[in-house]
Amino acid sequence: MSKESIKLNISGMTCVNCSNGIEKVVKKLKGLESSKVSFASNEGEFYINSEVLDKHTLINKIKKLGYGVEEDLKALEKAKLMAYNKLKIIFLISATSTLIMFYFVFMPLENLQSNVYLMFALASLVQFYAGGRFYSLAYKSVSNKNYDMNVLVALGTSAAYFYSVFVVFFPQSFPEHLRFIYFDGAAVIITFILLGRLLEERSKTKATDSLKKLMDLAPLNANLITEDGTIQSVLASNLKVGNKVLIKAGEKVSTDAVIIKGDTDINSSMITGEFLPVYKTIGDEVIAGTLNTTGIIEVEVLKKSTDTTLSKIIALLSTAQSKKLPISRFADKVANIFVPTVIGISILTFLVWYFLVGDALSAILASISVLIISCPC
């Protein structure tokens, strides 16, 4: 059996249930040995039997769930930035519409009645434009039998919105004491959840900044000394053990290597924390990502770019960010049953109110309240 480890950068996850859902679905793929998906770091690590399951099948399966998959971290960061900017615009539209609705709510009752159709238009904009993402994500979650927070948000806000629509357009169907509209309630929940996701994305970006700074230390290109003595610019990732590389003053060391010609001062502060440059000469080793400050040196590659000290530090940080603590695993288990439990409680609330009070509309309102209260969770 040929076992292969695959690391993927996954975008579009909005809560821990998303990462749990991906694990749950891909687990059914024949040839998948194990999987670990981290919502916090947007990473997934998969161990597959490459004779049975190939990488493209795995990627396509994740994409069908509605998530983006990028093997290149820079491509992922670009996609995340675009998604963040789009989310920011949607939030501003949602927040503005919600504030206008609140202005109408605090008007005298006769003025509120005259503006109820404008409230309906603003609420519809928030519900289906700003909140449209919750519907699409909820549909994908239900399709894959993974009931996440998006399902709860879609159900709760839809219940409040459509109840209000019926009150506005068919008021005669409701007793006077139940002719209330909840457009502002549904809108404020969507707005606050969008705000929460904006803040969450910002905090996740800050958490990975140190990792990106380390990645930026390694130069993309290197000056390879060919067999005939000419200098050729190549990708540092293509260097092989034994290759000879020229490093000029002011350039970064492309990979872990040993000096075979020349001497210089190497600034290793970004890796070791040493404040002053260290003198290096023939036979001394230099580390990828450090800076050649003075002389010109020729080095012989000791390690591939994936095996350097810098790449190992990056791998350790990445693993630490994606590793689930015992409390995280417990939270994942709770998240898996939370949404079905809330929906069950909402149905039970309706039945209790209906049979004890005998008023279907009051029972519906009580049931909606359970869904609404649970949404921010």
> What is the 3-class SS of 282-303, one letter each residue?
CCCEECCCCEECCCCEEEEECC
- Considering the domain architecture, whether residues 57 and 125 belong to the same structural domain is answered as no
Q: Is there a domain that residue 245 lies in?
A: yes
- Considering the domain architecture, whether residues 180 and 208 belong to the same structural domain is answered as yes
pLDDT at 45: 85
Q: Which of 55, 71, 87 represents a domain boundary (last residue)?
A: 71
109 pLDDT higher than 60: no
Q: Is there a domain that residue 331 lies in?
A: no
pLDDT at 242: 92
| Domain housing 107 | 76-214
Q: Is there a domain that residue 26 lies in?
A: yes
- Considering the domain architecture, whether residues 137 and 193 belong to the same structural domain is answered as yes
- The number of folded domains in the chain is 3
Cβ neighbours of 253 (radius 10 Å): 29
For 196-238, what is each residue's pLDDT tens digit?
888 888 877 776 666 677 777 888 899 999 988 899 999 888 8
CATH number at residue 234: 2.70.150.10
Q: What is the DSSP letter of 266?
A: E
Q: Which residue carries 């039945």 as its tokens?
A: 351
69 pLDDT higher than 70: yes
Q: Which of 49-58, 165-174, 267-276, 294-303 has the highest mean pLDDT?
A: 294-303
- Considering the domain architecture, whether residues 257 and 299 belong to the same structural domain is answered as yes
- Considering the domain architecture, whether residues 232 and 182 belong to the same structural domain is answered as no
CATH number at residue 58: 3.30.70.100
- Considering the domain architecture, whether residues 86 and 205 belong to the same structural domain is answered as yes
Task: Provide the β-strand partners of residue 261.
Answer: 298
Task: Provide the β-strand partners of residue 44.
Answer: 8, 37
Cβ neighbours of 113 (radius 10 Å): 10
- Considering the domain architecture, whether residues 43 and 57 belong to the same structural domain is answered as yes
Tokens read off for 29: 């793929």
Q: Which of 71, 102, 122 represents a domain boundary (last residue)?
A: 71
Q: Is there a domain that residue 150 lies in?
A: yes
Q: Is there a domain that residue 318 lies in?
A: no
Q: Which helix (H) or strand (E) holds 56?
A: helix 55-64
Q: Which of 172, 193, 214 represents a domain boundary (last residue)?
A: 214
Q: Is there a domain that residue 376 lies in?
A: no
107 pLDDT higher than 80: no
- Considering the domain architecture, whether residues 301 and 231 belong to the same structural domain is answered as yes
Q: Mention every residue, 6+ apart, whose C-beta is less than 8 A from residue 198.
A: 84, 87, 88, 91
pLDDT at 66: 80
Residue length, the chain?
A: 377
- Considering the domain architecture, whether residues 195 and 232 belong to the same structural domain is answered as no
- Considering the domain architecture, whether residues 269 and 224 belong to the same structural domain is answered as yes
Q: Which of 363, 337, 336 is nearest to 352 (CA)?
A: 363
- Considering the domain architecture, whether residues 93 and 191 belong to the same structural domain is answered as yes
pLDDT at 333: 67
For 257-299, what is each residue's pLDDT tens digit?
999 999 999 998 888 888 889 999 999 999 999 999 999 999 9
Q: Is there a domain that residue 367 lies in?
A: no
Q: Is there a domain that residue 197 lies in?
A: yes
* Band (324; pLDDT cuts 50, 70, 90): low
Stated pTM of the model: 0.69
- Considering the domain architecture, whether residues 83 and 205 belong to the same structural domain is answered as yes
